[in-house]
Structure 1
Amino acid sequence: MSQIEGKHVFVSYVREDNEEVDKLCQVLEAAKIPYWRDRTSLGPGETWKAQIRDAIRRGSLVFLGCFSDNSRAKERSHMNEELTLAVEEYRQRAPGRTWLIPVRFDHGDVPEWDLGAGQTLSDLNYADLFGDQYAAQAASLVTSIHGVMGDKQLGPAAALEAVEQATSADRGDILKRFTKEMLVDPTRRIELDDLISQEVQRVLKVLNDPDRVAGQFGGTRDEQVIRVVEAATELWELTEPFCASLAVAARWGSPDTLSPWANGLRAQVQAPLKIQGGNQGLLEMRKVCGLLSIMTAAIAAGSSRRYDNLKALVVDPSVRDGHLPKPQSMLEATDPWAPFDSQEMTANTLARGVIASKPFDEALKDYTERRVGNSYTPVSEWMHAILRPVFLDQWPDDDSYTTEYERAEVLVGVLAQDAVNVSTAATPEMRGWSRSRWFGRSTWRVARYGANSVEDLKQELATEGQQWAPLRAGLFAGDMERAKSALEDYGNYFAEISRNQH
């Protein structure tokens, strides 16, 4: 990649930043972007000034000026000479076209180089290749560069793969950033749809892999528990990038733009419902992907009061269970406890390990040796803990996140109860036997802390009536009596469970 004929990216830097530039060039190589760098692109005996001038003026599609405290500390450097040539070239190019891109390796300022027409170098959009946002910024950078390269353009899905390959990056951060950038740009809607579809396929490939669920468990009881817990952790790590993107879309999108996420969510819920042979514990554990995605959508849409988005993502889609004669709503088909098959030991080990940041074998000993009290709702506690980082940019404080998490949990529970009520309407005798299973941490916290999201929703409906926002968005089919019935039924079950936990 160093001796490149034709068009390329010119990388300008000071020698003290070799390590950071090496990392940048690894990203460019992974993204199949030709680059020119003096350390590798100058042949023996070549006149470096002439070669650099030619590389900047004739061959460069993009000029990357890399800045750091090292470059700012130098009054004289070859980089300054390269920037002078770049500015001259920039002034001759048509306005509005991307060519000169500053890159920062730290928080310092981009220099105030005069670009003419009242513009300086610091006015240009720059990439920050440092800190937690390195991967996301690198992905945006290579996408921008490929946009300039025309027929060689790299889509966001390929950019994500390239940056992850080169940096071992956090895929969720990259996907979240792409979603934020592309969701508001109608011209990139097809690219965004393809990106999300690719992410869903990554998840489905694992969920539909028969080798992952084949065979019977061996080993001791504790070893079997750890295996299931590790499977749950792996599936969350697989699903987290989709959830990171979904959290953005559910909050800022609109029903007409949400089909990639709605289809992906439905596919995650549907896949484990297909009749398949294998280890029952691992088969059931596959349901955590859809479960976590539903909760992500509920928190994001519910907290922003985008009930129309909540309806499009988790209420309207239906799935088919191979054991049932007709399709079900996703909420009716999803039982938060199902992945653990009511295995209190497994669920407590998982929750304790994540919340206390303990190895799972130690968390299991906490449970079996009764070192700490067991959780009433370990599945909910686990979800509350692992979803927290997804929403960290929305709620820096834990209390606000917890309030919205519990409200979303209850709202999903009420909507699931409504789905049950509708499906059993023709058989009233079944109504007492069918209920929502979406009960979580708020069932025990209501007695301890007093916050009751069920009563809050009831009060909202009583006060606002037909103008209640969920009804106006089409939840409960816009029927106030139906909403009252679902709230009343769910509230009764909620109170019963809460009493039994104290």
Structure 2
Amino acid sequence: MTDSPDDSRAGHAFISYVHQDRDAVAKLQKILSSAGVPVWLDKEDLWPGEDWRLKIRRAITKESLVFIACFSKNSSARDVSYQNEELNLAVEQLRRRPPGGTPWLIPVRLDDCEIPEYEIAPGRMLDSLQMVDLFGKDRENAASRLVGAVIRSLGTATPGMPITAKLDGSSEAVAQVKEMLLDPTRRIELHDLVTSIANKCRTTLSDEDQFPFTLEGTGKEITRAAVARVEQYWQVTKPVLEILAAGCTWGEASNERLWSSTVRGIANLVKPASGKTMLLNLRYFPPLVALYAAGLAAVYGQNYGALRAVTIDTKVRTDYGVDVPLLARSHIARPFENNKLLANILAIQASQPPESYPEFDALFDDLSADRIGGKYTPVSDYLHDSLHETFSFLILDPDDYTEAFDKLEVLLSALAIDLKKIPETYADGPWIGSFTWRRRYNASTAEGEMQAELKEQGARWSPLQAGLFGGSLDRATQAFDDLIERTGRHRLYQL
């Protein structure tokens, strides 16, 4: 709802629709609002007693920087609707704009319907404009492309217009990163902003006063301290994770080095001279969660160049002074080596709302005595549940989030298999993710679907085009064959 009847909401995206589609349009509004885009909707922006025709005309002709026309079977079934008046106004405005300029009228299909026959110029119909389909299997990627197109229209139509509204579940820095990504002339600003946030994170992580490694106490007390340590790591790295989520979704090839150096700075911390093994192992947690955040964003945005930049191009120093790809030192078990108890405590807590967390002492005792069972893939489960909040501004549907997470883990596992086979590469090797138990009773598996995609597309497969698996179809094929065999054995164990 607008703050007052005089609020003009200038510089907005106008959404045109029929009221039978109000639920679908509400989801679209939420997607745009989450990206910091101001939206005009009649149900929110018209006040009782207002001249609605005058207000809508003004909202379209004077204040709209992009017009989104939503079509569906509902709209096709109506011969008369207010949407027709809105569309007539929009087409009238479109005809006044120079051809080839910034996209202004964007047709959106909410289901498998026909676009109405509107002539937008002599000999040119409405369906000649690039449309967006917000339904079907590719709806989330289509929504991301729509958001990108709308933001570009807003940013280009009004130079310097700040798109810095607070995002749902994210920081203002994320909005600034997204705005700078749209403008190549702000490349230095983007570098300075991201680097300053990453350096602050690195400095804090390196402070042994805040993150001591020499603690005294029993096994339970050290485990309690380890649980608290992981929470500290989350809080310190959260700004970096959010930036990686935005950057690796929408960034271009010219930004890949920035994401790589950001993750490398977190991974290349000086090893403490001594300390408790459990706490020393946890120093691998920040780079692991940064890898997952960057990778999840890259997979969701189909930005596989960013995934290559972070997993393979990013080189980290081992304890023996050898530089290896980050993925070679990012096995999911590294932070929790030989400590499934800690991993299960974290996973069980993360699967529930904070107010419902089981009491630590009881959970520790029950798991230690095998009174309750642990999870098949506790670290994977923990990362899946804990990263969800970081991506709340980007991926709205929980099922779509899980699908992207599973695709990431399948790719990471296949890439780890491939790395392990490269001579003189000291790599950890693959791991099994939570996608195995989620699909253990299904004929179709996440890795099987990706393997089928690889076979169908061959050398045209997007990850290969981006240079993953060295761009080699043979290497990718062998890695997936190996992965399918490994996951098959693991699922037999789960049954």
Q: Once the two structures are superposed, what CA deviation does each residue of 1:293-346 show, in whole Å capped at 9, x if it has no partner?
A: 11112211112322122112222121121325x311110111211111231111
- TM-score under structure 2 length normalisation: 0.64
Q: Which residue of 2 aligns with 1:253?
A: 251
Q: Once the two structures are superposed, what CA deviation does each residue of 1:2-59 show, in whole Å capped at 9, x if it has no partner?
A: xxxxxxxxxxxxxxxxxxxxxxxxxxxxxxxxxxxxxxxxxxxxxxxxxxxxxxxxxx
Q: Which residue of 2 aligns with 1:7?
A: none
When residues 438 and 178 of structure 1 are mapped into structure 2, their CA distance, relative to the original with a 3 A threshold, is farther
Between the aligned partners of 1:365 and 1:469, the Cα distance in structure 2 is: 48
Q: Which residue of 2 aligns with 1:496?
A: 489
Match for residue 438 of structure 1 among 415, 431, 437: 431
Contact 1:213 1:279 in 2 (8 A): no
Q: Which residue of 2 aligns with 1:332?
A: 328
Residue 346, structure 1, aligned to residue 339, structure 2? no
When residues 170 and 269 of structure 1 are mapped into structure 2, their CA distance, relative to the original with a 3 A threshold, is farther
Aligned pairs for 1:305-324 within 5 A: 305-324=302-321
Q: Which residue of 1 aligns with 2:382?
A: 382
Between the aligned partners of 1:390 and 1:422, the Cα distance in structure 2 is: 34
Q: Which residue of 1 aligns with 2:406?
A: 406
Between the aligned partners of 1:123 and 1:215, the Cα distance in structure 2 is: 58
Bigger shift: 189-198 or 208-217? 208-217
Q: Which has the higher contact order (CA 8 A, sep 6+)?
A: 2
In the alignment, structure 1 segments of 5+ residues that lack a partner are 1-66, 73-79, 84-101, 126-154, 164-168
Larger radius of gyration: 1
Between the aligned partners of 1:170 and 1:230, the Cα distance in structure 2 is: 26
Give the CA deviation at 1:499: 2.9
Aligned pairs for 1:13-162 within 5 A: 68=3, 109=45, 123=63
Match for residue 487 of structure 1 among 474, 480, 485: 480
In the alignment, structure 2 segments of 5+ residues that lack a partner are 8-37, 66-161
Aligned pairs for 1:358-369 within 5 A: 358=357, 361=360, 363-368=363-368
Match for residue 192 of structure 2 among 187, 191, 194: 194
Bigger shift: 374-383 or 355-364? 355-364
When residues 211 and 110 of structure 1 are mapped into structure 2, their CA distance, relative to the original with a 3 A threshold, is farther
1:448 is paired with a residue of what secondary structure?
coil
- TM-score under structure 1 length normalisation: 0.63
Between the aligned partners of 1:110 and 1:209, the Cα distance in structure 2 is: 54
Between the aligned partners of 2:328 and 2:408, the Cα distance in structure 1 is: 16
**Aligned-residue RMSD, C-alpha:** 4.0
When residues 385 and 336 of structure 1 are mapped into structure 2, their CA distance, relative to the original with a 3 A threshold, is same
> How high is the sequence identity, in percent, across the aligned residues?
28
Whose helix proportion is higher, 1 or 2? 1
Q: Once the two structures are superposed, what CA deviation does each residue of 1:408-450 show, in whole Å capped at 9, x if it has no partner?
A: 111011112211111358xxxx9xxx76233211232332344
Contact 2:282 2:336 in 1 (8 A): yes
Aligned-partner residue type, residue 404 of structure 1: A
Contact 2:410 2:447 in 1 (8 A): yes
Give the CA deviation at 1:378: 0.8
2:395 is paired with a residue of what secondary structure?
coil
Contact 2:311 2:326 in 1 (8 A): yes
Aligned-partner residue type, residue 462 of structure 1: K
Between the aligned partners of 1:119 and 1:399, the Cα distance in structure 2 is: 35
When residues 424 and 390 of structure 1 are mapped into structure 2, their CA distance, relative to the original with a 3 A threshold, is same
Between the aligned partners of 1:393 and 1:464, the Cα distance in structure 2 is: 31
Between the aligned partners of 2:411 and 2:246, the Cα distance in structure 1 is: 19
